[in-house]
Structure 1
Amino acid sequence: MEYLFKDFIKTFFVAKAECGGIPPNTDVNEMADYFLSKGIQIDPSKVHYNSSKYFLSKQFLNCLWGRVSLRTLGKPKHVLVKTMFELWSYINSPEIEVKSVICGTDRALVKYIDTKESTARVGLTNCVVGGHITSLARLKLYELIEKLGDRICYVDTDSVLFKCNSTIVNQYMPTLSKYNFLGELSCELSKFGFGSYASAFISTGPKCYSLKVVTPASDENNHEEKINYVVKSKGFSLNKKTEPLLNFESYKSLVTGETDSLEIPTTRFSCLEGGGIQITNYFKNLTYTFNKRIVKLENGVYNTYPFGYVG
């Protein structure tokens, strides 16, 4: 059987695996053998952590599914025309809507979008393929959600954060991969050190949360426990200017209602009509956004319920 994206996945997943470095408490040769048993060959000598290359390879892997499902209608396009006849044909075409025309000495730049009458399509798009792949991924997520139940604190497309209690016997625990292989679950806390665990979690909305991670004292070189924070904030850059504003405590103040919104300094880069880049500095507000379920404070703990729930 010939798989549609086999070579694409192999190429960029190998790059991601090699740039991701060696997972904690693992051997690089064992990792290579495990990957080989799954049909993926990596070079142990190239397995070194490189954050920039890892980010790029991850983006290459993820962007394909969005590409095959790309919405073509309304997508901005442009074309250079050299004759009056070409310009006239674009201006009077019922299949496009001209947004602007920038004239030069010997040619003109026409910016336009396709109308509903247009038969033009962006190459390599196939909503059936894109929908099929993303639906399968969602089914895997739903399978995990069903098993974890109300222990779940947060879920995203390919990740889940849930509560564990070591005192409960026969509590379901998902199988975690040692080697971060494709399609397998891995523990995101292992990179903080052996025995690390999350002691607190707060979320102000989708893709906007903070996690308090505790690494206990474990040996002669680590006399005291360490506290680290994971902060995610979609739509806001995390840097030295914003770190004092986007953190666990500020998120907590939004959720508890102590603060209505946070003003975050933001820099926007935008293209100018005639060419060039405009840099704009402004303030963007971050607010608590949760409108899909009911939030209730019960015995000092925030719980959520579906709309219409009576109990």
Structure 2
Amino acid sequence: MKIENLEKKIDRQVILKDINLTFNQGEITGLIGRNGSGKTTFFRSIAGHYELDQGQILIDQEDLQKNKLLKQKIFYIDEQYNFLSGYTLKKILTFYQNAYAGFNKEKYLALTKKNNLNPRFNYRSMSKGMQGLYKMILAICSNADYVLLDEPLDGLDIIVKKNVLGILLDDVSENSRSIIISSHNLNELESIIDRALILKKNQIQLDYHLESLRESARKIQMVFKTKKVPQFVKENSRLLHFQGRVVTAIFEDYTEELRILIQAEEPILFEELPLTLEDVFEVNLANEKTNDSLQGETL
């Protein structure tokens, strides 16, 4: 999937602009942004629920807006406008078999039976955990090439959460599909994603492949002899914490030359700490203003 120059406005306010991305098969991508940053608008735009104000979404080099059959290649359930609520699981199965030509009914029946999801159950009467588990089963069995998951783990207890993640990861290992997932729990997200997109100021500001990030970036805690932080540290890092004389910084491109420069300052403390996705989120988004002023619209 290739996204070119995507722009979306709501009530004349720009929510997304200049979005240019390619999603690769077999890759799990995490979408990270503060509340109101436009994550849900991003998902709705990709899924074809919104008409784009500008740009295009290409699947196999065809425009999604022009060829509506391509929607079968995308799975997305919009939580705000969830049509499943009034139906039984048996009826929902019928809907999804009609919507997705490649729907795997055999796998669906096996997974629902394994998880005690009776076809007579009404979706609305199920617990939030069971709804989350059921939606993951639908996502996997749709056989869509692109699966969009907007906060799929939100509110799930630890046992259901492990079950949901297990189903997802088993499927990714067996099938070459692209998963795009948003979550407020960055520790959980970090454990499953290959790539992180940071949505800030209406745009994808940063696109990290975590393996490359871990190779080049370092989180360093330092205490210098004076309270003044060396200029080269400020220029080559993002300050994460500054408490008293203790400086914690993230160097996104940490080199041997930088290490030598820091050591030349004869710091009282110099310690490398584990770098987490939460750290990356904090240094990039801590001071961002969001679009929470748009009332009545989940962005």
Shorter-chain TM range is under 0.3
Q: Which has the higher helix share?
A: 2
State the structure with more CA Rg: 1
- The normalised TM-score by structure 1 is 0.21
- The normalised TM-score by structure 2 is 0.22
Larger relative CO (CA 8 A, sep 6+): 1 or 2? 2
